[in-house]
Structure 1
Amino acid sequence: MKQRLVITILLGALAGLLVSFWPVQAAQSSTTTYFMHGYGSSARAEHQMTTYLTAHGASNTIVRVNVDRKGHAVLVGHVAKNAHHPLVEVNFADSRNTDFHQDGRWLKAAIEVGQRATKTKQINLIGHSMGNLTTLAYLNDYRQQADLPPVRHLVMLAGGLFPGMKAELTSELTKNLPAHLTVLNVYSTADQRVPNAASRRLRPLFKSRAASYREVKLTGLSHSQLHESRRVDRLLLHFLFD
Structure 2
Amino acid sequence: MRKRLMILIAIMFAALAWIPLQPLHAATVRQVPTLYLHGHRAGPNAMNALIQTAEQEDHATSVLTATVNNDGAVTFSGDWPADSHRPLVKVVFVNNRTLRYNRISDWFRDVLVALQQQYGISRYNVVAHSLGNAAVLFYELRYGQYQQLPQLQKYVAIAGNFDGIPGVHRPRRKHRLGPGGKPPWVVPDYRRALGLRRHFPAHQVSVLNIYGDLGDGQHWDGKINNVSSRSLRYLLGPRLKSYETLEFTGPLAQHRLLRTNPAVIKAVDHFLWP
The answer to whether TM tops 0.5 is yes
Deviations 1:32-66 (A, max 9, x none): 11111111112311111111111123422331000
User: Would you say the 8 A contact 2:212–2:248 is kept in 1?
Assistant: yes
Verify: 1:224 aligned to 2:256, yes or no. Answer: yes
Q: 1:98 to 1:124 in 2, by over 3 A?
A: same
Q: 1:124 to 1:100 in 2, by over 3 A?
A: same
Structure with the greater alpha carbon radius of gyration: 2
Deviations 1:114-147 (A, max 9, x none): 3344433310122111111111111111112233
Give the structure 2 partner of residue 241 of structure 1.
273
Give the structure 2 partner of residue 203 of structure 1.
233
Deviations 1:2-31 (A, max 9, x none): xxxxxxxxxxxx9xx9xx99xx58x73621
Give the structure 1 partner of residue 200 of structure 2.
177
Inter-partner Cα distance in structure 2 for 1:91 and 1:225: 19
- What RMSD, in angstroms, separates the aligned Cα atoms of the two structures? 2.2
TM-score, structure 1 length as denominator? 0.84
User: Would you say the 8 A contact 1:34–1:89 is kept in 2?
Assistant: yes
Q: Which residues of structure 2 form unaligned runs of 5+?
A: 1-18, 165-185, 215-220
Q: 1:46 to 1:240 in 2, by over 3 A?
A: same
CA drift of 1:85 comes to 2.1
User: Would you say the 8 A contact 2:145–2:199 is kept in 1?
Assistant: no
Q: 1:47 to 1:157 in 2, by over 3 A?
A: same
Verify: 1:156 aligned to 2:157, yes or no. Answer: yes
Q: 1:113 to 1:155 in 2, by over 3 A?
A: same
CA drift of 1:112 comes to 1.8
User: Would you say the 8 A contact 1:158–1:187 is kept in 2?
Assistant: yes
Amino acid at match of 2:201: P
User: Would you say the 8 A contact 1:194–1:223 is kept in 2?
Assistant: yes
Inter-partner Cα distance in structure 1 for 2:104 and 2:51: 22
Give the structure 2 partner of residue 108 of structure 1.
109
Give the structure 1 partner of residue 41 of structure 2.
40
Inter-partner Cα distance in structure 2 for 1:96 and 1:170: 25
